Amino acid sequence: MMRNKRRGLSTIRFAQPPELRAWAAVGGKKESEGPLHSAFDMLFSDTMCGETTWEQAEMHLQKCAIYTAANKCGMPVERLDLLLSGDLLGQCIASGYTARGCRVPYAGLYGACSTMAESLALAACMVDGGFADTVCACASSHFCTAERQYRFPLAYGGQRTPTAQWTATGSGACILGPASGTNGVNLTYAAFGRVQDYGITDANNMGAAMAPAAYETIRSLLSDTGTHPSDYDGIYTGDLGEVGSRLLCQLAERDGIDLTGVHQDCGTMLFDARQDVHAGASGCGCSAAVLCALLLDELNEGRMNRIVFAGTGALMSPTSVQQGESIPAVCHAVVLESGKGER
Amino acid sequence: MMRNKRRGLSTIRFAQPPELRAWAAVGGKKESEGPLHSAFDMLFSDTMCGETTWEQAEMHLQKCAIYTAANKCGMPVERLDLLLSGDLLGQCIASGYTARGCRVPYAGLYGACSTMAESLALAACMVDGGFADTVCACASSHFCTAERQYRFPLAYGGQRTPTAQWTATGSGACILGPASGTNGVNLTYAAFGRVQDYGITDANNMGAAMAPAAYETIRSLLSDTGTHPSDYDGIYTGDLGEVGSRLLCQLAERDGIDLTGVHQDCGTMLFDARQDVHAGASGCGCSAAVLCALLLDELNEGRMNRIVFAGTGALMSPTSVQQGESIPAVCHAVVLESGKGER
């Protein structure tokens, strides 16, 4: 056993790295006004996406991402062996109700904003282990569903603090299969993170709560793989925002690891300064959309060779915050490599 | 690829079936008064389990289950390669906060009451694929946290309908590793379910909502493995309750499959009639506790040879119910076999 993982290491190495066959990114109105607008597969200018509730709109975003990705690799969704997906809502309804429509085997995940990385890591294990031929990894979020889930009714018009992040309205979906040598992106390593909690209790400063989890997983991945930050074209976290990104680099610097220059955060890439989102974007849909809109295309087209995609999730709930609990966070990471350089 | 799964089948066959090394079941006051009381590893007569909130009490149940299981196989919890767990609460806080204390790699799941089966199925894939040497699969629920999550504040004293089920206060945890030939229970097959929705909108009749999902997964498992109900010492669903159990047998009968006699439901085993729970027990913790308190010991001691453990989850949320959505449900199943007969 342990053919893929050396004892004592947290990082899984895939002997025959699963291939990302296709991917799709879907976004909302604010995303359509941001710097990545032209990279999305589909954008909605209507917050409801033509549905009657925001929750249904989020389900629609997931559905569009999954069906667009499946369409790109020329397979009907019903042919999927497994759908692994999650979102921020109580009881993960955006994912469960979307899975109802897909009619494929479905395993629900909860990793908060780390969900896209969690689903990719598990999907790669399912493919490399020979348990599934095609797996879809998906995550979503919606600004309006998240606001009423975590904060205030939107109509209340509460003022946002400087450290607050803006939940992305969007979804990303990737379809993974066994390596065929014909496609451009492979998933070579995966690391499931340990939960970290440095005692942050401010639910409007999730970047600070998540930075230690991001650092722990990235440090462990670099150490296990014997690589340095400079071995990557980018170490992309999602979503620490501006505050959390600064803290991540400071934590790394303390241990003599220089992440500046190579580290970028999906939460600071989705929107630009004039969009007034304060510390950046967040939500499962942010890193999922940035990955599927931008990063995978860069790898696929050979403009980047190797990146770390490190999803970070804050695991509190409105109940735990009301009860005075601090905010635990987790970070799952995968290494994605372009096949262009090797072939 | 596909060494473990034949193309076109939904059921995964493990070439070297992972072994359940140890397990533990923890329960609350009502569970301590029920027919399985003597089978639990630990019982709390205090609803708070000595904590200050019900949510913390549920975290304590999970923690006790995980640590007791680890202790039984003589390993420190910190040695786990992966913890796969979930619960019913918004943002799965019982699991996320418990994982914080365990300090091991953690992937959060959401499968409602199917979570124990989902975590066992994924854990077996992680072990058989060589991605992890020891994985803990865990789930929990707590009557009081679930009532305030899904229904009314407990102080309101709402009357329960005849079809309502009583959420179990409890947790179960299993530790899986590669087959060693020394232990008595192996996980031989796993099937991830497709979401089913027959249009039930009564959140107090989840048995009816879940029965079609249970039937679909059991039918598919029997067909894929070429087995008949009589090949098993029991087909245990968790948790359809009395109403859902009758519907499951009716759905099967319509297709000429006789489940009566071999089918039992964890929701009808945890409490007895004089405990006034109406249609039975429910909650992630119910099937997790019945499995870990009773079924695995029966297999381990050779009193049963082979069972299907089919976890059923209703994937609605308070929000989706308020919005008039019907209740989708999923069922994941695993086949568990005693090694006693073969060695």
Question: What is the ipTM for the molecules in this complex?
Answer: 0.96
Distance, C-alpha B330 to centroid of its chain: 12
Interface check A75 vs B, CB under 8 A: no
Strand extents, DSSP E, chain A: 11-13, 19-27, 42-43, 82-86, 106-108, 135-141, 166-167, 170-177, 185-191, 234-238, 263-265, 281-282, 306-314, 329-338
pLDDT digits (tens, 9 = 90+) for B256-315: 999 999 999 999 999 998 998 889 999 999 999 999 999 999 999 999 999 999 999 999
A192-223 burial, b at 16+ Cβ within 10 Å, e below that, comes to bbbbbbbebeebbbbbbbbbbbbbbbbebbbe
Q: Which of A115, A211, A125 is nearest to A171 (CA)?
A: A115
Gap between the Cα atoms of B15 and B31, Å rounded: 37
CB atoms within 10 A of CB B188: 17
Distance, C-alpha B137 to centroid of its chain: 10
Interface check A132 vs B, CB under 8 A: yes
Say what the pLDDT of residue B2 is. Answer: 43
Say what the pLDDT of residue B183 is. Answer: 62
Gap between the Cα atoms of B65 and B74, Å rounded: 14
Gap between the Cα atoms of A42 and B247, Å rounded: 42
Report which residue type is found at A74: G
| Residues forming a β-bridge with A26 | A42, A171
Q: What are phi and psi of A83, to 5 degrees?
A: -115, 125
| Residues forming a β-bridge with A314 | A329
Interface check A181 vs B, CB under 8 A: no
Q: What are phi and psi of B25, to 5 degrees?
A: -125, 135
Q: Residue B53 burial (CB < 10 Å; 0-12/13-18/19+)?
A: middle
pLDDT digits (tens, 9 = 90+) for B210-225: 999 999 999 999 999 9
Interface check B81 vs A, CB under 8 A: yes
From chain A, the residues in CB contact with B314 under 8 A are none
Provide block-wise average pLDDT over 10 residues at a time, chain B (343 residues).
Answer: 61 94 97 97 96 97 98 96 97 98 97 98 96 97 93 84 92 95 88 97 93 98 97 96 96 97 96 90 96 98 97 96 96 93 47
Gap between the Cα atoms of A66 and A102, Å rounded: 9
Q: Which of B123, B125, B119 is nearest to B139 (CA)?
A: B119
Greatest distance between any 2 Cα atoms in chain B: 56
Contact A65, B293 (CB under 8 A): no
CA-to-CA separations, A97 to A19, B85, B164, B188, in angstroms, rounded? 27, 21, 23, 30
From chain A, the residues in CB contact with B192 under 8 A are 82, 105-107
CA-to-CA separations, A287 to B167, B237, B240, in angstroms, rounded? 36, 37, 37
Gap between the Cα atoms of B157 and A76, Å rounded: 49
Q: Do B108 and A118 touch (CB under 8 A)?
A: yes
What DSSP character marks residue A39? G
pTM: 0.97
Contact B46, B207 (CB under 8 A): no
> Min CA distance, A274 vs chain B (Å)?
32
From chain B, the residues in CB contact with A121 under 8 A are 107
From chain A, the residues in CB contact with B122 under 8 A are 107, 122
Say what the pLDDT of residue A1 is. Answer: 32
Interface with A, mutate which of B92, B136, B221 (most A CBs under 10 A): B92
Interface check B110 vs A, CB under 8 A: yes
Ranges under pLDDT 50 in chain A: 1-2, 343
Q: Which of B149, B150, B174 is nearest to B164 (CA)?
A: B150
CA-to-CA separations, B340 to B102, B175, B183, B234, B336, in angstroms, rounded? 33, 19, 9, 17, 12
CA angle, A254 as apex, A251 and A259 as ends, to 5°? 60
Interface check B206 vs A, CB under 8 A: no
Say what the pLDDT of residue B160 is. Answer: 87
Tokens describing residue B49: 């389990």
3-class SS string, B121-136: HHHHHHHHCCCCCCEE
Gap between the Cα atoms of B44 and A262, Å rounded: 51
Contact B133, A1 (CB under 8 A): yes
Side-chain half-sphere of A5: how many Cα atoms within 13 Å? 27
> Min CA distance, B103 vs chain A (Å)?
6
Contact A282, A168 (CB under 8 A): yes
Contact B271, B281 (CB under 8 A): yes
Chain A / chain B CB contacts < 8 angstroms: 211
Tokens describing residue A231: 């071995």
Tokens describing residue B65: 């289950």
Q: Which of B58, B17, B50 is nearest to B289 (CA)?
A: B58
A34-73 burial, b at 16+ Cβ within 10 Å, e below that, comes to bebeebbbbbbeebebeeebbbbbbbbbbbbbbbbbbeee
3-class SS string, chain B: CCCCCCCCCCEEECCCCCEEEEEEEEECHHHHCCCCHHHCCEECCCCCCCCCCHHHHHHHHHHHHHHHHHHHCCCCHHHCCEEEEECCCHHHHHHHHHHHHHCCEEEEECCHHHHHHHHHHHHHHHHHCCCCCCEEEEEEECHHHHHHHHCCCHHHCCCCCCCCCEECCEEEEEEEECCCCCCCEEEEEEECCECECCCCCCCCCHHHHHHHHHHHHHHHHHHHHCCCHHHCCEEEEECCHHHHHHHHHHHHHHCCCCCCCCEEEHHHHCCCHHHCCCCCEECHHHHHHHHHHHHHHHHHCCCCCEEEEEEEEECCCHHHHHCCCCCCEEEEEEEEEECCCCC
- Nearest-CA residue of chain A relative to B145? A319
Cβ-proximal residues to B1 (8 Å cutoff; 6+ apart), any chain:
A127, A130, A133, A178
Gap between the Cα atoms of B262 and B246, Å rounded: 13
Name the pairing type of β-strands B82-86 and A170-177: unpaired
Tokens describing residue A312: 């970070």
Of A93, A103, A320, the CB nearest to B320: A93
Tokens describing residue B121: 């199925």
| Residues forming a β-bridge with B177 | B19
Q: Do B118 and A108 touch (CB under 8 A)?
A: yes
Q: Which of B136, B129, B334, B132 is nearest to B235 (CA)?
A: B334
Interface check A198 vs B, CB under 8 A: no
3-class SS string, A288-317: HHHHHHHHHHHHHCCCCCEEEEEEEEECCC
CA-to-CA separations, A284 to A143, A237, B75, B92, in angstroms, rounded? 11, 12, 35, 15
> Min CA distance, B217 vs chain A (Å)?
10
CA-to-CA separations, B317 to A93, A139, B7, B96, B151, in angstroms, rounded? 7, 18, 34, 19, 10
From chain B, the residues in CB contact with A312 under 8 A are none
> Min CA distance, B195 vs chain A (Å)?
5
Number of H helices, E strands in chain A: 10, 14
